[in-house]
Structure 1
Amino acid sequence: MRGIGRRRACVDAGNTAAGLPSKARTRRRLLDHFERSASAAGFRLDGDQQEAVRLLANAGASLTAGTALALPGRRRGLYLWGPVGRGKSWLAREFFEALDLPEKKRWHFHDLFRQLHAHRRDAQDPAARPPGTSAVDMAIATLLKDCSLLVVDEFHVHDPGDGQLLARLLREIHRRGITLVATSNYPPERLMPSENFHSLFEPTIALIHSTMHVASIAGPMDYRTLSAGRPSGQKNDGGARPKRFSDGAMVLAPEGPNDTRIAEAGLAWPTAAEARELRPGSQPLPALRCTADEAWFDFQDLCEGPTAASDYLTLLPHSAHWVISGVPRRGDISMNGWQRLSNIVDILYDADVPLTLICAEPLDLGPSASPSAVDVSRIASRLRTLGSVGVGG
C-alpha cells in the first residue's frame, strides 16, 4: 500500500506540474463526451445509463487526479450488469477511450483469460520465478503490470477452474488498489450458476460486493435494434468498406452442400481438397476450409469437440469471415456445445468479424430455463443482427 501511496503522490505532482484540468473539469468533460457519443450513435441516454455515466465520470475524475475514488462506500470498482443490448459495453468502451490515463487496460473476458493462461504457460519454469511464487502469481503480476484501471467486458464464469483463477485475480486487483470496471449480463449472485460449484464461488461474490459498486443497467430499450455504438460502415473512396459481424448470415439449407441457398448467400461449399487440420492449441481442429478470406468449420468439430475460447482467439486474425455448417436443432446441441458456440459469437461480435451459420432447420433462439438462459438471450440478440437466407419471419 505504501507503493500505491507513492504512485498517487507522483500522479498528483505530475498533474500539478503539467497543469492538467481539475477534477471538476475532467468530470464535466467525461459527461459531455458521453452525451456527444450517444447523440452521434442516434440515441439519448436513459435513466440507468445516466446514473452509470455519473458514476464513471466521478471515477474517471478521481483516477486522473490520483485521489480516492468518489464511488459509493469508497469502493474502487464498478460492476455494470443488466439484460443484453442495454449499452453496458458501450458505456465501458466510451469511458475507457475518453479517459486520459496512461496506465489503463481493457479486455473482453475471453481475451483476459487467454492472456492469463498464456502468461501462466510462460512462467512454468520454477527457476525463472522469484522464490515462493507460482506460475499463476507471475501470470497475474504480468497482466496487472503498470495498470491503475482495468476494464473487462462480458464478465461471466461457468468453469470452476476459471472461477478459482478469477478469485485470485480479483484479490490481487483489490490488493494493488486497481480500479476495475466490469460489464456483465449477470448480477454477481448469478455468477458460477452451477449448483455443484456455486457455493465455492460465494466468497468471490462477497469480494465483488465489498470492493465494487454494483449498478443495474436495465432500461426498456434494446439499443442493438438501433445499432447503438456500432454505426453502419460507410463506403470509402474505393467503394468498399470493412466487413462487419452483421455482414454474416443465418442460412437455412436443409439440402446441405447441394442447397441453392448456399450460392444465394454468396458461398461455395468447400471441396475435399480444401480440408485442413489446424492446431490453434494442444488439440487438432479439422477445418473444411481455412484461407485469409474464410474459415469454414463443421459444427460438430468446432463446438462439440474439445475446443476452447483460446483456440478461437488464436484463429481470429487469420480469416476475414467464419462459416459454421451443420448447425443442428438447439435441442440437439449439448450444453458444452452451446457454450462454445456462445464463446465464438461473443469473440467474433467483439472483433466485428462476419459469422455465417448454415442450418438444416431454423435455430431456436427463444428463452430457455437452463442455467445458461442469460447467455442464450445475449447470443440471440447478437445472432439477430445477422442477415438471413431462406429463413422465414
Structure 2
Amino acid sequence: MDVTSDEVEMETAPVSADELVEAMRQAADDAGFDLEPEQLEVARRLGSLAVGEASVPAHLYLWGAAGRGKTWLLDAYFQALPTERKRRVHFHSFFRALHRSIHEHRTAAAEAARATGEPGAGARAAAGAVANAVDRAVEDLLDEVDLVLFDEFHVHDPGDGTLMIRLLEALFSRDVSLITSSNYPPSGLLPDPVYHHIFEPGIAVIEANMTVVELAGDTDHRRSSAVQRRQGFSRGTWMLTGQEADDELADLGLPRPDAADAVTMAISGHEFRASAARGGVLWFTSAELLERPTSVGDYLAWAAEYDRWVLDALPAPEHLTREARARFVHLIDALCDLDVELHVIAATDRETFMTAETLGRGGFARDAFRTRSRLALLRTVG
C-alpha cells in the first residue's frame, strides 16, 4: 500500500530538548507571533521526547479545541527534528489508501479461495485478508523511520474504529514513536453513544501507551486572527447567493458554468453530475455533492486532480438531510487537510449555517466546533 506523507530529508545530528524548543520558538517568531504559555509548554513536552534514542519508544497524544495551534506546533517540531527517519501522514489519505488495499486483498483472496471449491473458503479468506492488509499498511508506514506524525486523528465511523485498533496495536509493537493530534481526548473518540463501546479497546490502548497532553487556551486563532497569507484552503470564500457572488467568482477566474459544461464523474461505482470539471476547477451543486452518496474517499480522489472547488447552491441547513450535513463536515475536513481552495455559494452566512437553532439536537453538534474553526479561514463575500 502506498502511504501518502510528507517527508523531510535532513542530515542526522544530535540535538537537545532546549535546541528543539528554541527552533519552534524561532519558527513562531519568523511567522510573526510569540508562542503562548500553553503552546510553549507543549513545545517543551515535544522537545523532551527521546525519538530514536530510547529502548522504549515515546508516544504523545496531543489534543485540544480547534484553532489552538496543534498542527502548527507539530509541523514546527517535525521540521526541527534533524533526521531523515520521520514521516508525517495525512489521516484521510492514509485511510483511503488502507481501504483500497483491503478491498484489493479481500477480492484477490476470496477469488483464489473460491477457486478451490471448498464451502465457505471465500468468506474466510476475505476476513483474513483484512488483517494482512493492515499489517502491510503498517510495514509501509514504518519503513525506515523512528517517528510517525499522524495529524488530525479522529474516529467517527465504527468500521474505521475497528481498523484503527488493529493499526494502533501493530504500531505500538514496533520500535517507532507515534505522535498524533486530535480535537478529542482519547475518551471522546467515536463519540456516538450507539457505537462508542466498539472503540473502547482502542481508547485503552492509547491511554496505556501514549502520554496524553492537552493544548489548552481560550483563543481560536483561526477565528480571531486575520489570515496574513492566503493560499490553498484559506484562499477560498463563503459567499451569499446572488450576482455579487457570481461577479466575485468571475474575478477569481471562476466564471459560472453553463449547461454545456456539465460532466459526469464516475467514482466508487457511482456517477455524479458536476456542473464543471476543467482546468483544475471542480464545480458541484450541493444537491449533487452532499445529498448524493459521496464519500471522503471520493473527495480525496477528486482533490488529487482538482485544486479549486466550488460548492454551489448550499441551502439553509434545515433544508439539508442529516446525511448531507455529515458529508459537509467531512468535505470541509478533507479539503482543509489537503489545503484545497474552496468557494461556497450559500443561502445563509456561515455562522448561521453552522448554528441554526432550527436544526435542534443532532445538527452539527458533534463537529460544529472544528468545522466552524476551519470555515473561519474562508473570506466572506456579500
Give the TM-score, by structure 1 length: 0.80
User: What amino acid maps onto 1:55 in structure 2?
Assistant: R
Q: 1:108 to 1:335 in 2, by over 3 A?
A: farther
Instruction: Give yes or no for contact 1:365–1:376 (8 Å, CA) kept in 2.
Output: yes
How many residue pairs get matched?
A: 347
Instruction: Map Cα deviations across residues 334-392 of structure 1 (whole Å, 9 max, x no partner).
Output: 333223222222222233322111112334233885485352111111212212222xx
| Aligned-partner SS, 1:311 | helix
Is there any run of 5+ residues in structure 1 with no aligned partner, and where? 1-17, 70-74, 234-242
| Aligned-partner SS, 1:306 | coil
Q: Given the alignment, which residue of 245, 253, 259 partners 2:233?
A: 245
Q: How far off is 1:99 after superposition?
A: 1.3
After TM superposition, list the pairs within 5 Å mapping 1:271-310 onto structure 2: 271-310=258-297
Q: How far off is 1:122 after superposition?
A: 4.2
Q: How far off is 1:169 after superposition?
A: 0.3
After TM superposition, list the pairs within 5 Å mapping 1:62-77 onto structure 2: 62-64=50-52, 66-68=53-55, 76-77=58-59
Instruction: Give yes or no for contact 2:309–2:341 (8 Å, CA) kept in 1.
Output: yes
Matched, 1:379 2:379: no
Q: 1:172 to 1:302 in 2, by over 3 A?
A: same
Q: 1:226 to 1:100 in 2, by over 3 A?
A: farther
| Aligned-partner SS, 2:76 | helix
After TM superposition, list the pairs within 5 Å mapping 1:1-393 onto structure 2: 20-21=13-14, 25-59=15-49, 62-64=50-52, 66-68=53-55, 76-124=58-106, 125-126=108-109, 134-225=132-223, 232=229, 243-253=231-241, 259-266=243-250, 267-363=254-350, 364-366=353-355, 370=362, 373=365, 375-390=367-382
Q: 1:369 to 1:89 in 2, by over 3 A?
A: farther
In structure 1, what is the Cα distance between the partners aligned to 2:136 and 2:342? 36
| Aligned-partner SS, 2:304 | helix
- State the partner residue of 1:13: none
| Aligned-partner SS, 2:184 | coil
In structure 2, what is the Cα distance between the partners aligned to 1:140 and 1:305? 33
Is there any run of 5+ residues in structure 2 with no aligned partner, and where? 1-10, 114-124
In structure 1, what is the Cα distance between the partners aligned to 2:183 and 2:308? 27
User: What amino acid maps onto 1:121 in structure 2?
Assistant: H
Q: 1:32 to 1:220 in 2, by over 3 A?
A: same
Instruction: Give yes or no for contact 1:280–1:315 (8 Å, CA) kept in 2.
Output: no
In structure 1, what is the Cα distance between the partners aligned to 2:339 and 2:73? 18
User: What amino acid maps onto 1:249 in structure 2?
Assistant: T
In structure 1, what is the Cα distance between the partners aligned to 2:209 and 2:282? 42
Give the TM-score, by structure 2 length: 0.82
In structure 2, what is the Cα distance between the partners aligned to 1:80 and 1:214? 6
Q: How far off is 1:278 after superposition?
A: 1.3
| Aligned-partner SS, 1:194 | coil
In structure 1, what is the Cα distance between the partners aligned to 2:343 and 2:218? 29
- State the partner residue of 1:3: none
Instruction: Give yes or no for contact 2:135–2:170 (8 Å, CA) kept in 1.
Output: no
| Aligned-partner SS, 1:63 | coil
- Percent identity between the two aligned chains: 35
Instruction: Give yes or no for contact 1:325–1:359 (8 Å, CA) kept in 2.
Output: yes
